[in-house]
Amino acid sequence: MNHRLKYYYYRTSVLLDYSRSLISFIIVLFSIVILDSLFNLFYFNGFISTFLHINSETFSVVDMGFAPEVWLSLLGLVLGTLIIVISIASQNTPKLIDLYMQDWKSLFYIWLLVLSSIHAVVIMIFTQGLIRPGSPILNIYLLLPVCILFSMPYIFYILRYTKSSHVINIIHNNNLRYIQRLGSKRMRAFLEIDEITEKFQRYLMECLNQLDNLIDYAAFKEPRAEIIRKMSHSIQVYIQEKPKINPNFFRITQAVRSDISFRTMVENQFTELEQQRIFFEVKSFRLLGNAYVIFLDRNEFDLASLCASELTTVGETAAECNDNPLLKALIFQFNTFMRFAIKQAIRFNEARNLYNLAFHYANFVDSLAKHHQIESVKECFHYFRRYGNEIYNHAKQNYSLYFIIAVLTAELKRILIHIHEKSWDIEIQAELLEQILGLDTPPGINRDDRKDYQLTNDGVRDIQISLALYYLKVDEQQFVTQIVDDVLEDLQYVGKDDFLRVIENSFNRLENNTPIFWEDTDRGNTNLFYTPHAEMIDPLKTLILGKINSKNL
């Protein structure tokens, strides 16, 4: 099939898709005409009169005058209800009218109702002498009962159709349909044509924009949560279909450049998007980022956390497909979320969003480690340290933020244990461990500036020591020594007696902590400070005291 035939085939399919109202009108019209012809044919053959137990003399006295009034009443009932429901619902649900005009069931039923009414009027005008005796039978005994029978179910269907959840499902299913068509062999050939490529790019972004608009209009949390989940699912399906898509589809066309999410970009950014083939994902991430900011401003912690959670799920799919450019974009998006959450925590003295985001960001990094994405894991550990250092600086005015540093440390500890279980290279593990040990020591900050509260109740040190207990348990002396040496650096800033008291307090807390925290939090009741290796506390304590004595500290 050459390009011209491909193009005409595509234009025909587009015409059929965008002219559904006209197509349904033509189908219903020809169906009624054909049925009318068949009824008259069978009437003269005696089939209909025998089946209905009527004859021409009996039927000739039937008054057809009632039919137009009945049809008009039925038409007024259905169309009146339809106009009222759609008009009211469209005020809170953008694009509802456009979606309705693409609904085959509604179009077929409405045209059947309208054309059947016209059929009754035509019978009254042109068949008074029963020139076509089968036509009244068709209208009275078939079309009218069918339309009356389906009138109430159709009204109920329209009421259900206007629900936000149903509209979300329609948009999402349309989006999935476009994505799955992109991966088909036939569409791979069509995408060689630039016009088709641009049209499908516009399809996908319009679906995402429609879902984004619904976030503002949805009055309840559940529809907004469903929108976030649908966006995430669309991205995941797209990532899985991506290898099957014609590379020509990833060109940056005018459809992409004119989209609201890309209008502020410069040319080199478009070039990068085209080379990395991630314009659809970046579009989705920007919409998720906008939603995340909205939820932060409204203090809707659960929905904000859901944005981060779904981004983690997308990251797991990208890691499975080994899509490195997309993983890079995901890291940037998580960092953007971190910036928003830090700003909100400082502004409103509320660290809950940071607490939740750290958990989901860490889950994403853990999925990277699971799929052996070494460079990406290194990069994320570096960012964790930078954000930890930044939070440390802001914590001088807000002591509650010190807890977030401990949370970041606990998450990296969890990931580092998984990495050790996967037997990564020792040098890489040592490098990652160094990032954890530097979370509470920002460059250029003198530890003399630390408050007494930090020295006596330092959750970061507790978690670092619990990590040392794990390494001692698995006989990784190199890492134990690395942690102990970092802990002993505190001796330069406090006296030996104070240091020993602080270390003893840390060991006591680790020994007494339980696996489950006694309060429920947004991420569950897991105790970040619990260690399952309490039996190694005495050996580690002996090791630390031995180092202090050997150096005469």
Q: Which of 311, 340, 326, 99 is nearest to 211 (CA)?
A: 99
Q: Are 284 and 306 in contact (CB under 8 A)?
A: no
Of 135-144, 342-351, 353-362, 444-453, where does the model show the most confidence? 353-362
The CA angle 491-497-498, to the nearest 5 degrees, is: 70
Q: How many CA atoms lie within 13 A of 97 on its CB side?
A: 8
Contacting residues for 518 by C-beta, under 8 A, at least 6 apart: 525
How do the domains of the chain map onto residue ranges?
3-161
| pLDDT bucket at 5, cuts 50 / 70 / 90 | low
Q: Which residue has the higher pLDDT, 376 or 53?
A: 376
CA 86 to chain centre: 27
- Of 253, 237, 260, 236, which is closest to residue 201 (Cα–Cα)? 253
pLDDT tops 70 at residue 293: yes
Tokens of 203: 């399809």
With a cut of 60, say whether residue 528 has pLDDT above it.
yes
The residues that bridge with 516 in the sheet, in sequence order, are 526
Q: CA-CA distance, 193 to 506, in Å (whole number)?
A: 67
Helices (H), 298-323: 301-320
pLDDT tens-digit readout, 145-178: 898 888 888 888 888 877 777 888 888 888 888 8
pLDDT digits (tens, 9 = 90+) for 352-373: 888 899 999 999 999 999 999 9
Q: Distance of CA 548 to CAs 35, 315, 434, Å?
A: 100, 45, 21
Determine the pLDDT at residue 182.
85
In angstroms, the CA 538 to CA 545 distance is 11
Mean predicted confidence (pLDDT) in 484-505: 82
Q: Any residues with CB less than 8 A from the CB of 539 and at least 6 apart, and which?
A: 472
Q: What is the DSSP letter of 350?
A: -
The 10s digit of each residue's pLDDT in 422-436 is: 989 999 999 999 999
* Rounded CA separation 394/345 (Å): 10
* Higher per-residue confidence, 481 vs 66: 481
Spatial CA neighbour of 480 closest among 432, 407, 551, 430: 430
Distances (CA, A) of 507 to 271, 433, 466, 526: 55, 20, 9, 19
Residue 126 has pLDDT above 90, yes or no: no
Mean pLDDT across the chain, nearest whole number? 82
The length of the chain, given as a count of residues? 553
Is pLDDT above 60 for 130?
A: no
3-class SS of residue 379: helix
Is residue 502 a contact partner of residue 456, using CB atoms and an 8 Å limit? yes
Quick one: pLDDT band at residue 375, thresholds 50, 70, 90? very high
In the predicted model, what is the mean pLDDT of residues 290-296? 91
